[in-house]
Every structure is written in structure tokens, then in C-alpha cells.
Amino acid sequence: MKLLNKKPEIKTVYKNIEKKVKVYVKDNAACNLTRGAVSLRNQAGDPEQLRPDYHPPLTENGATAASTITQRRAERQIHRWGELYIDLRANYLALLEICDKNNNR
């Protein structure tokens, strides 16, 4: 429950980070992630994509080609994953606390 009470505080910190991303992280096509980097990020977020039959492997040229994903867009996605993690963690800990209280009655 303690972490749930800190959610507004955490969201404020994340908003400050978002502002800094706009200053420090480039958002132009010359700095786009490679298709290989995007593929790795997608696989990290969805282990199902590691299956050999999920999609054909990228060739070396294909993997080093620029994708449509800018560094800023990638950073925003990471930021969003962090927010989701914090929310899930807070809710999970709150549920554990409720279960502990119910078990100790």
C-alpha cells in the first residue's frame, strides 16, 4: 500500500524524465535504430518472437539497415515499460499485503 500512495510522486519523476528525453535524445532519421536493434528489442519484450518460425532471420545487410524507429521513440517506449512495471509492482505488493492481512486474522 505504501508504494501505491507514492504513485503520484513517481509519475511526477517520470514526467521530468520525459522532458529531459526531448532535450538529450535525438529524433531524426539519421539516428534511427537499425532493424537488427529493433528486432532484438521486440524479442526482449515478446519471447514468442525467439521461435525460429516466428519470422525469417534478418540478413546482415537487413539487420544493419535503418528502421523507422527513432532513438526518441525507442526511449519513449522504454519509459512506458518502466511506468507499466512500477504500476504492476505497486499493485502486486498491495495484493501481497492484503493477502498477508487476511491470512493473519
When pLDDT is cut at 50, 70 and 90, the band that residue 4 belongs to is low
- Pairwise CA distance, residues 39 & 62, whole Å: 11
Mean pLDDT of 29-57: 77
Q: What does the DSSP 8-state code read for residue 29? A: G
Question: Does 65 lie in the same domain as 75?
Answer: no
What pTM value is reported for the model? 0.59
| Domain hosting residue 1, numbered range | 1-28+71-105
Q: What is the pLDDT of residues 47-87, one digit of tens each?
A: 776 777 777 778 888 888 888 888 888 888 888 888 888 88
**Distance of alpha carbon 57 from alpha carbon 60, whole angstroms:** 9
62 lies in the same domain as 76: no
What confidence score (pLDDT) does residue 6 get?
64
User: Is residue 4 located within the same domain as residue 24?
Assistant: yes
- The number of folded domains in the chain is 2
Q: Tell whether 76 and 63 lie within a shared domain.
A: no
SS3 for 66? strand
pLDDT at 48: 78
